[in-house]
Structure formats: structure tokens, C-alpha cells
Amino acid sequence: MDFAPTRASRRAASTKIVVAGGFGVGKTTLVGAVSEIVPLRTEALVTNESEGVDDLAAVPTKSTTTVAMDFGRLTLAEDLVLYLFGTPGQRRFWFMWDDLCLGAIGAIVLVDTERLEEAFSPLDYFEAKGLPFIVAVNQFDGARRYSVGDVAQALALPPDVPVISIDARDRESAKQALVRVTEYALERLTRSLSLKVN
């Protein structure tokens, strides 16, 4: 008798990925571009009340902001489902990051090369948590292009941290970031397990 699991009987594994970064770098856009369900968004209008609290100078046309999270889902393979959680970018909402990252296998830190300094705090956060992360450079229209090597150097990243260029609006491009962070998280897990065995 053959007891090998059939495709129908195999249970799908679900995995949680966090999409993080500064204000206005494209987190909501990325989750919306790849999600196979209508994404859950918790956006509020940017009002005059945020003057002096939020720095909107770099994104003057942005009229909404995520106040809790973005949520989406993507089936990468028949037996692998990714649940995506986009973090709020404004510092005053960062207290939610711990809850959003709970149980995640990895994170994508989206960066805008015009505002690279905003990436340091998210990078420090994930390094301190020990959560595997990749850096995805969102290619904004009209922004100056830099090589991924130059971005990695400017951010003083460890050599093993993947840096890729994406267009958060493009489904296939954004999907590559999800595939890469999943691969990287598995690589880190395998390395960690082999060290424990040896």
C-alpha cells in the first residue's frame, strides 16, 4: 500500500512576511500589487493635524497614510501561502511593529534612494530582532538610479544581506522580493540548524 501523500492531501504551509520601511516608500503599493485578495488597508487622510509631527516634505503629494497595517495574501506554490503584513511608516506608529512581526519568517525593507537615511531605523530594528531581511530598492520614476552594491555600501549592510531593485507597482517585480526574502529566510534557517548539529 502506498502511503505517500498526494498533492490533494498535502497541507499548505503558510508563512508570514513583513513589508517595512519609512513613510511613503511603497509598502501599501507593494502589498496591493501582489495580493491575490483585496488587500486590507488601514489608511487615514493626512490632515493639518500631522503638521510638526510627520515630515511630509519628501512626499508632498501623499494624501493618505497607513495607521495600523496593510494585509494581503499570495499563493507562491500549491503548498506555500504567504501572508503579507505592511507596517506603518510613520515613527509614531512604530509601537505596532513588534506585534506585526510576531511569527514572521522574514522582512522586506523597502527603501527610496532619495531618502536613504530613513532606512537605518528599520534596518536596526530587524537586526536587533534577529529577523532575516532583504533590502528592496523601490525604483521611483525620475529618481536617480544606483547599483545595488552602492546601496548596500551606503547602508553599511552585512555582505550576506540581499539587496534587489524592484518596482513596487509591478506584480512580477514585487513578487520577486517575496520569493527572495523567503529563500533568504530558509538559507538562514538551514545555516543555523547545521551549526547546531555541528
**Domain-located, residue 48:** yes
**Domain-located, residue 170:** yes
With cut-offs at 50, 70 and 90, classify the pLDDT of residue 10: low
| Model pLDDT, residue 57 | 54
**Domain-located, residue 1:** no
pLDDT digits (tens, 9 = 90+) for 59-72: 545 445 554 578 89
Residue 172: C-alpha distances to residues 34, 122, 135, 158, 178 (Å): 8, 25, 17, 27, 10
Contact 154, 116 (CB under 8 A): yes
Three-class DSSP category at 40: strand
pLDDT digits (tens, 9 = 90+) for 128-154: 999 999 999 999 888 888 999 999 999
Tell me the average pLDDT of the chain: 82
Tally of domains in the chain: 1
**Domain-located, residue 105:** yes
**Mean pLDDT of the region 80-96:** 80
| Model pLDDT, residue 79 | 84
Is the pLDDT at 196 greater than 80, yes or no?
A: no
Is the pLDDT at 155 greater than 90, yes or no?
A: yes
Q: Please give the residue range of the domain that contains residue 96.
A: 14-197
Which burial class, exposed, middle or buried, applies to 72 when counting CB atoms under 10 A from its CB (0-12, 13-18, 19+)?
Answer: buried
| Model pLDDT, residue 70 | 87
**Domain-located, residue 2:** no
Higher pLDDT: 162 or 56? It is 162
